[in-house]
Structure 1
Amino acid sequence: MLHNHSLHQTGISQQRRVVVVDDEPASREALCALLAAEDFDIYAVGSGKELLRRMPELAPDVILLDIMMPEMDGYAVCKELKESVAYRHIPVILVTALDTVQDRMHGLEVGADEFLTKPVSRIDLQARVRTMLRIKSQYDQLERMLEMRQALSYMIVHDLRNPLAAVMLYLQLLKRKGGVPPESMRYLEMATTEAQKMSNFLDDMLMLAKMERGKLSLSRSPIYVDHLLEQVRQKMAPYAEAQGVTLVVKTPGQSYPVIADVALFQRVVENLVSNALKFAPPQSTVTIAVEYPRAGLSEEEAQNVPSLVLSVLDQGRGIPPEDFVRMFDPYEAVHMKEQGKAELGLELAFCRMVAEAHGGRIYAGNNPDRGAVITVEM
């Protein structure tokens, strides 16, 4: 049974779609008949496998899912839906003749939103479906609002780059032109440094937005990491020296090529060093260390081994264990900033997304003696 399928898909109809899933034709027809008086777009399918296969086409707002089905029961179907990023927000009402506490607990474990026990009454069914549709409608409105906010933020960040680029250009022209009193040159250098930090921050935000939208394509090529790390050390050394911090690079002695996006990888290293410098006390050391775990291994032995392990260590106060994971989440970083951890920003979230885009990971810990260490495996 299908009503206004094409209208629903194009968004012309405001009807909400309810999909009924039951392997028994009589049960499917009975549930559809109970909902017929409502202004719903009703669609019935005969198995959980068919539902999963046709989810993009069906685009349900609520799913009525029978539990006792052959091949794939309702629990398994519900679990797969709730584990899917694309479909886990769609309410699922489990319909079953089973009504024990264990059955309901199992349903909750797989993510069911509601339960109906057979035989189903018209009033109960319609009330539960309307409630779930209201929840789905609120979710859809929130999603639209978030998408608008993200688009607006992206546009603002993008538009800020032009005036900032002009500021940096004028600062460079002042330095080249000369005539700036020596006692004022230090302030000019500081202004240039802060403008560069702001430019890097805007670049990170744009990169994060592209990654979240799935629009960032990696430009992979072989890079010799040791050489890149020395470039980063030279670039970041003035900032470290200004804080009285020594910046050290430790390598195994022999460099191996690693396949990665050079520009993104360099930004990751710079962000990690910049983050370490925020916490490094004067007269301490920030260390960039690299290892190549695949070196000397056969092709078979190297299959599940990262090609690169990069660590940045500081000698600061360390990281509270409860922050080890949340510090890499952009939304958690906002909450942590509100809680007074002002040093944290989006730099680490950017690093995590780049590492994951390369099929790697990033994690944090503390040194046994003093300070924190953040490690990237790729």
Structure 2
Amino acid sequence: MDRMQSVWVVDDEPNGFEVIELLLRREGYRLTYFDSGIEALNRLESSPPDVPLPDVILLDVMMPELDGIETCRRVKANPNWQPIPVIMVTALDSKEDLARSLESGADDFLTKPVNGLELRARVRSMLRIKQQYDALQATLNLRRDLSKLVVEDLRQPMSTVLLGSHLLLQSNLEPQDRQRAELVYAAGSEIDAVINGLVRLAKMESGRLVLNRVEVDLCELAEVVIANFQPIADAKQIQLLLELSEQRRWVAIDTNLFHRLLDNLIANAIQSSPTGSTITVQIELPDRSESVRHALVRVVDQGSSLSKDLQQSILSQYESGTLTCGTSQIGLSLAFCKMVAEAHGGKITIEQNPPQGSVVTVEI
């Protein structure tokens, strides 16, 4: 049985609620009244995770203490509340006031005195949008759950492949057979690394990942990663440059996660860079007296420049874009980098590198 759709009415004047209740009484909604924006925000804060949030909020603009515009801004600033459609109800009719309402994140507005036909139509419209969002979110959650199941199911057979190929390498094999076993083991190790990365990604999404922070020389870690990628860069005739900070001090990070972050950033840069170009990896460690950040990693390439839209969307999972002619880039690795940076309390940004190329900056 479908649950009753919930509409919150926030208005410091009880008469305002009574009017809306009268106009919506035949719609079958569950109406809840709050006499201030603060009370509504407190209810949102205290709502248990298993209690559904309101489907629509009707929010009066002119209220004491906390007006409707600021209340709406706070609702939309919270990622958990952001999908809730907000309809501003105002006696103001100036374009500036309406613009302020929309800039605060409101999805629609009504002017007083409220017309019943218009009120019902706008509430129904917002409810349709919310239902579409909920259905999309349910689909994404189902896909995510199925992906987790597939990843977990792959772990056991892949462990068997790795163990079997490892045992073969310990036996007396002919040179040709040994070469084949080494290829199987190397490929299995790569797949196993991807599986483990997806598991970590899922844990970061759910907030269950616990960072194993240790004090690390970030410059030394970057030198190791660059050395690992040097043969690949040489094969593409790409020059890898490493610019290290003059300040050599230790940083508390999860070494394994950050190693993979550097791997992904450099692999993406190599993949997107043309032959004969240069990739520069910069490590900045500010003086201890600086409290703005602990470390900064910047990867500068000379590949195809990214549009502003792609710069943002490529940080989302499964987003892809053509970075070089005939080369597609899946956004999963950069989404992983974004989650690692945020798990360390930092951020990742992508900018253009005039006249050509991109600059990826990780700040922690």
Deviations 1:43-94 (A, max 9, x none): 1110111111112538211111111211222222222222221112112222
1-side partners of 2:277 and 2:172: how far apart? 35
The partner residue of 1:113 within 107, 117, 120 is 107
Task: Work out whether residues 222 and 257 of structure 1, in 8 Å CA contact, stay in contact via their aligned partners in 2.
Answer: yes
Displacement of 1:313: 4.9
**Given the superposition, is the C-alpha separation of residues 78 and 353 from structure 1 closer, same or farther in structure 2, using an over 3 Å criterion?**
same
What amino acid maps onto 2:291 in structure 1?
Answer: Q
Q: Which residue of 2 aligns with 1:194?
A: 187
The partner residue of 1:69 within 58, 63, 70 is 63
The partner residue of 1:356 within 337, 342, 346 is 342
When structure 1 is superposed on structure 2, of 70-79 and 162-171 the one drifting more is 162-171
1-side partners of 2:168 and 2:134: how far apart? 52
Q: Which residue of 2 aligns with 1:21?
A: 10
Alignment of 1:220-299 (within 5 A): 220-237=213-230, 239-240=232-233, 249-252=242-245, 255-279=248-272, 288-294=281-287, 297=288, 299=289
Q: Which residue of 2 aligns with 1:35?
A: 24
2-side partners of 1:163 and 1:74: how far apart? 57
- Per the alignment, in what secondary structure is the counterpart of residue 65 of structure 1? strand
1-side partners of 2:227 and 2:196: how far apart? 21
Work out whether 1:310 is the aligned partner of 2:297: yes
Q: Which residue of 2 aligns with 1:85?
A: 79
Q: Which residue of 2 aligns with 1:175?
A: 169
When structure 1 is superposed on structure 2, of 104-113 and 47-56 the one drifting more is 104-113
Task: Work out whether residues 36 and 63 of structure 2, in 8 Å CA contact, stay in contact via their aligned partners in 1.
Answer: yes
Give me the TM-score of the superposition, normalised by structure 2: 0.84
What amino acid maps onto 2:160 in structure 1?
Answer: A
What amino acid maps onto 1:29 in structure 2?
Answer: E
Task: Work out whether residues 299 and 360 of structure 2, in 8 Å CA contact, stay in contact via their aligned partners in 1.
Answer: yes
Task: Work out whether residues 204 and 346 of structure 1, in 8 Å CA contact, stay in contact via their aligned partners in 2.
Answer: no
Task: Work out whether residues 312 and 350 of structure 2, in 8 Å CA contact, stay in contact via their aligned partners in 1.
Answer: no
Task: Work out whether residues 324 and 363 of structure 1, in 8 Å CA contact, stay in contact via their aligned partners in 2.
Answer: no
Displacement of 1:245: 5.8
Percent of aligned pairs with the same amino acid: 39
- Per the alignment, in what secondary structure is the counterpart of residue 87 of structure 1? coil
Q: Which residue of 2 aligns with 1:376?
A: 362
Work out whether 1:125 is the aligned partner of 2:111: no
When structure 1 is superposed on structure 2, of 79-88 and 359-368 the one drifting more is 359-368
Alignment of 1:327-366 (within 5 A): 328-331=314-317, 333-334=319-320, 336=322, 341-364=327-350
Work out whether 1:214 is the aligned partner of 2:207: yes
**Given the superposition, is the C-alpha separation of residues 64 and 318 from structure 1 closer, same or farther in structure 2, using an over 3 Å criterion?**
closer
2-side partners of 1:285 and 1:214: how far apart? 37
- Per the alignment, in what secondary structure is the counterpart of residue 149 of structure 2? helix
2-side partners of 1:280 and 1:174: how far apart? 38
Deviations 1:5-46 (A, max 9, x none): xxxxxxx87111111111112222222232223311111110
When structure 1 is superposed on structure 2, of 137-146 and 280-289 the one drifting more is 280-289
The alignment yields a C-alpha RMSD, in angstroms, of 3.2
Displacement of 1:150: 0.9
Q: Which residue of 2 aligns with 1:205?
A: 198
- Per the alignment, in what secondary structure is the counterpart of residue 319 of structure 2? helix
The partner residue of 1:45 within 13, 28, 34 is 34
Task: Work out whether residues 318 and 366 of structure 1, in 8 Å CA contact, stay in contact via their aligned partners in 2.
Answer: no
Give me the TM-score of the superposition, normalised by structure 1: 0.81
Q: Which residue of 2 aligns with 1:325?
A: 311
- Per the alignment, in what secondary structure is the counterpart of residue 18 of structure 1? strand
Displacement of 1:185: 5.1
- Per the alignment, in what secondary structure is the counterpart of residue 68 of structure 1? coil
Work out whether 1:59 is the aligned partner of 2:53: yes
**Given the superposition, is the C-alpha separation of residues 321 and 62 from structure 1 closer, same or farther in structure 2, using an over 3 Å criterion?**
closer
2-side partners of 1:33 and 1:291: how far apart? 63
**Given the superposition, is the C-alpha separation of residues 110 and 250 from structure 1 closer, same or farther in structure 2, using an over 3 Å criterion?**
closer
What amino acid maps onto 2:130 in structure 1?
Answer: K
**Given the superposition, is the C-alpha separation of residues 91 and 190 from structure 1 closer, same or farther in structure 2, using an over 3 Å criterion?**
same
What amino acid maps onto 1:177 in structure 2?
Answer: S
Task: Work out whether residues 314 and 320 of structure 2, in 8 Å CA contact, stay in contact via their aligned partners in 1.
Answer: no
What amino acid maps onto 2:251 in structure 1?
Answer: V
- Per the alignment, in what secondary structure is the counterpart of residue 290 of structure 1? strand
* Unmatched segments (≥5 aa) in structure 2: none
2-side partners of 1:107 and 1:368: how far apart? 38
When structure 1 is superposed on structure 2, of 357-366 and 77-86 the one drifting more is 357-366
1-side partners of 2:172 and 2:355: how far apart? 48
- Per the alignment, in what secondary structure is the counterpart of residue 6 of structure 2? strand
